[in-house]
Amino acid sequence: MDKVRRYSPITLLLAVCISALILASKGEDSIQVQSEEDRLQPSNSLAVALEEMLEYNQNKGISLQKKASQVPRCDVGERCAIKHGPRIGKLCDCLRGTSCNTFLLRCY
């Protein structure tokens, strides 16, 4: 019959601890190298993403007055409303002494 070697529990525990230490030390080196190389990369990509978002919001054309629920003023002859089927949407308020003509959709 084959001889079966029996290892003591202390020997097995020692082998497990040594292998764990070896794996842990190798993992730390690779993590440090990656973090040092990639430190600048996320900040650059975040800055680019923020710049793109700001440009997109500026190009949308929503004025600060409209965001604050204030309707801007229209001069005489300017378009003051827009028609969406049976509804009329208000674009701006006409100056004093003028009103928005609902047929022409302009201030007169």
What is the tens place of the pLDDT at every residue in 18-58?
A: 888 887 776 555 555 555 556 656 667 788 888 888 887 66
89-96: list long-range contacts, CB under 8 Å, 24+ apart. none
Sign of CA dihedral 79, 84, 90, 95: positive
So what's the pLDDT on residue 16? 86
CATH 3.10.20.30 fits 63-108, yes or no: no
pLDDT higher than threshold 80 for residue 94: yes
Residue ranges covered by each domain of the chain: 7-61, 63-108
- List the structure tokens of 34: 């990656």
